[in-house]
Chains A and B, each alone.
Chain A
Amino acid sequence: MDTKLADAADIAVTEAPPPRRVWPAIRRFFSAPAALLGAVGLLLVIGAAIFAPLISPQDPYDLMQLDIMDSRLAPGSESFSGVPYHLGTDGQGRDILSGILYGLRTSLIVGIASAFVAALIGTTAGLMAAYMGGRTETFMMRLVDLQLSFPTILMALMVLAILGNGVTNVVLAIIVAEWATYARTARGTALVEREKEYIEAARCLRIPGHRVLLRHLLPNCLAPIIVIATMQVARAIGLEATLSFLGLGASVTQPSLGMLIANGYQYLLSGLYWISFYPGIALLITIVSINLVGDRLRDVLNPRNAR
C-alpha cells in the first residue's frame, strides 16, 4: 500500500518540473559553429581510439612488427618494406601515427574512468551534504574546502608519492584530486532544488529519503554535473599526460599520449621534432574538442539561457 502510493506519487511528482525537450536542445547545441567543430573533433578522436587496431598501419606493441632500422625516420618516409610512415617513427622504430592511435585509447580510458568515478563519489557526497544538512554538511564541506585549497597537481603528487607510480595509481590520484569539484557543484545545485515545491511535495507524501534523493533530487541536479564532468574529462586527460610525462604514470608497454611526448623529449635537442610534436597535437585536439563541447553544453543546459 505504502509503496504503491509512493509509486503513484513518483509519477505525479516527477512530472512537476517541465519535461526537457531533447530535439530543440540538440539543435541549439549545434547552432554554434565552435560546438559543431568540437563535436566533430571529439567524434574523430573517440572513433580513432575505438578503431585503432583496424586503422593503424602498425601494432606498436607487437615487437615483431618493429624494425630498429626504421628508427627515427622523418614524417613521410617509408619503411624498408615499403610501408609509409606518415608521421615518422620514434627511437624504437615505432610508427608515430599508430602510437598516437593506441595512446589515445589509454588517455581516453584513464580520463573518462577517473572523471566518472570522481563524479560518482563527489556527487554522492554533495547530494548527501545538501540533503542531510547539519553536522554532515559542515564536515563534508570543510573537507571539500580543504581539498580545493590545494592545487590538483599537488594532490596527485601526494597520492603518487605514497602509492608509487603506475596507471591505476594515476587514476586514483586524479579521483582524489578532482572529486571535491563535483561535491561542491552538486551541493550548490541541490541546495537550490531542495527548496522547490516538488521536493516538498515528495516529502509530504512520505516518500522514503533515499528515493527522494535518487529519483527526485538527483535527476534535477544532473545538468551542471554533466557539464563539470565533461570539462573534468579534459582536465583528467591533461593531468594524466602531465604525470606520465613526469615519469609517474603509464608504463612503457602501454603508452599514453603523455608518455609518447616524454619519449620524444630526449630527441628534441637533435631536432627530431615529430616524436613529441604530433602526439602533442593529438592531445591538444582531444582537450580542445572536449572543452568546446563542454562550453556549449553549459550554455545549452543552463536554464537561464533557455530562451
Chain B
Amino acid sequence: MITTLIRRAIQAGFVIFAMTLIVFLGVNVIGNPVDILINPDLNQAERLRVMQNLGLDQPLWRQYLSFLHGLTQGNFGDSFVYSKPALDVIVERLPATLELALCAMLIALVVGLPLGLYAGLYPERLSSRLIMTGSILGFSLPTFWVGLMFILLFAVQLGWLPSNGRGETAEFLGARWSFLTSDGLAHLFLPALNLALFKTSLILRLTRAGVQEVVMQDFVKFARAKGLRENRIVLVHILKNLMIPVVTIIGLEFGSLIAFSVVTESIFGWPGMGKLIIDSINLLDRPVIVAYLMMMVVLFVSLNFIIDICYTLLDPRVRLDGKG
C-alpha cells in the first residue's frame, strides 16, 4: 500500500515536471516571446534592454531553470494586462469558477439521478424512452449553442433571468460568492444549468445502466421475495449499490467541469478563470496563460492521484502495482 502510494506520488511528480517542460518549450520555443512581449515600435537598444529585463537574452536552459525557480514560489511573472502577479489574477477568479462548477454538479445530480433511476426501473414506459432520447440530445447539443438559446429564451424573450455577469456578491470565507444573494443566484442559474446539461445526461445514463444491472441481482430478488416495500428496495438496496459508480464519476468529472466552464463563462460573461484564459489567449497575456495551464496540470494530476488512491482503499481487487 505504502509502496503504491509512493510510486504513484513519484509518477505524479514526474508528470508535472514533464508538463512544465512541455508548456515552457511550447510557449518559449514554438511561440516567439520576443515578438509577443516587446512593442515592435521600440528601437534596437530599447529592445535589448527589455529583453535583458525579461531574461530573454539568457540561454534556454537557464531560462527554464529560472522558470522552475519561479514556479516553486508560485511566481509566473506579472500579467501584461492587469500588471499584477499572474497567479493572483487567476486565484482571484477561482471562487467564481468553483461556485459555477459546484452548482452545475449539484443540478446534474439532482436532475440526473432520479430520472436515471426512473428510466432504469421502468424501461418500457413511454416516459422513460422520452427521457433517454432527451439524454441523447443532452450529449449531442453543442453546449455553447444551448447557452445562447437559454439567453434568447429566458433573458431576451421572457425576461425572467439576467444573462451577464455574477450579479450581487456577498463575502464568505474571504472570497466573494454569488449564491449568497438572491440577485447572485438569479445570475448563477442559467450558466450553471448550461454547464450541467452534459453531465446530467452522463449521470442519467450511468444511473440507468447501473439500475438495470443491480435489479437483476439476487439480493434484490431476495428483498422482493421477503416482501419488502418497493420504496425500501429502491432507496436502500438499489440506490446504495449505485452510489459507487456515481460518486466516482462525480469525482472524475469535476475537473472537466472546471475545464469546460471556459465555454459557459465566455457566453454568460461570468468572470471566472475560464473567461480569463480565453481573454488572455486573445490578448497574448503569456504569464497568465502559463500560470493557468500549470494550475490545470497540477489540478488534474492531483485529482487522478486522489482517485487512484481511493480505488485502492475501496476495492482491494484494483492492484495498481501490477502493470506500469
Contact = CB atoms under 8 A, between A and B. Distances in A.
A131 to B, nearest CB: 17
Contact of B145 (A138, A247, A261): A261
Given A277-B149, A284-B145, A271 B277 contact: no
B64 interface: no
Contact of A245 (B140, B144, B156, B259): B144
B256 interface: yes
A261 B263 contact: no
A157 interface: yes
A268 B268 CA distance: 12
Interface stretch (A84-92, A158-166, A196-204, A210-218): A158-166
B255 A151 contact: yes
B296 interface: yes
A142 B300 CA distance: 15
Nearest to A139: B324
Interface stretch (A59-67, A68-76, A234-242): A234-242
Contact of A160 (B256, B281, B296): B281
A158 B23 contact: yes
A154 interface: yes
B151 interface: yes
B26 A162 contact: yes
B31 interface: yes
B152 A238 contact: no
Interface in B131-150: 136-137, 139-145, 148-149
Contact of B142 (A149, A150, A273, A284): A284
B26 A291 contact: no
A163 B30 CA distance: 7
A54 interface: no
A75 B156 CA distance: 19
Contact of B156 (A149, A269, A284): A269
Contacts of A245: 144, 263, 266
- Interface pairs A-B: 10 shortest CB-CB: A162-B26, A280-B145, A151-B256, A151-B259, A154-B259, A288-B140, A287-B140, A245-B144, A161-B289, A149-B304
B142 A280 contact: yes
A280 B149 CA distance: 9
Contact of B293 (A146, A158, A271, A284): A158
A87 B30 CA distance: 43
B278 interface: yes
A284 B144 contact: no
Given A265-B148, A269-B156, A284-B145, A157 B27 contact: no
Interface of B: 15, 23, 26-27, 30-31, 136-137, 139-145, 148-149, 151-152, 155-157, 163, 255-256, 259-260, 262-263, 266-267, 277-278, 281-282, 289, 293, 296, 300-301, 303-304, 323-324
Interface in A4-47: none
- Which of A158, A247, A276, A291 is packed against the most chain B CB atoms within 10 Å? A158
A248 B283 CA distance: 12
Nearest to A288: B140
B31 A150 contact: no
Contact of A280 (B31, B148, B323): B148
Interface residue range, chain A: 35 or more
A224 B144 CA distance: 30
A104 to B, nearest CB: 14
Contacts of A151: 255-256, 259-260
Contacts of B26: 158, 161-162
A157 B140 contact: no
A141 B324 contact: yes
- Which of B23, B148, B156 is packed against the most chain A CB atoms within 10 Å? B148
Given A264-B148, A283-B142, 19 more contacts: A142-B324, A149-B303, A150-B296, A151-B260, A153-B262, A154-B259, A157-B293, A160-B281, A161-B26, A234-B140, A241-B145, A248-B278, A265-B267, A269-B151, A269-B155, A271-B157, A277-B149, A284-B140, A284-B141
B307 to A, nearest CB: 9
Interface string A126-147: 0000000000001001100010
Contacts of A161: 26-27, 277, 281, 289, 293
B158 to A, nearest CB: 12
A141 B322 CA distance: 14
A50 interface: no
Contacts of B145: 241, 261, 276, 280, 283-284
A162 B300 contact: no
Contacts of A55: none
Contact of A247 (B282, B293, B323): B282
A31 B160 CA distance: 45
Contacts of A83: none
A162 B259 contact: no
B140 to A, nearest CB: 5
A55 to B, nearest CB: 24
A120 interface: no
A291 B151 CA distance: 27
A245 B259 CA distance: 16
A205 interface: no
B324 A138 contact: yes
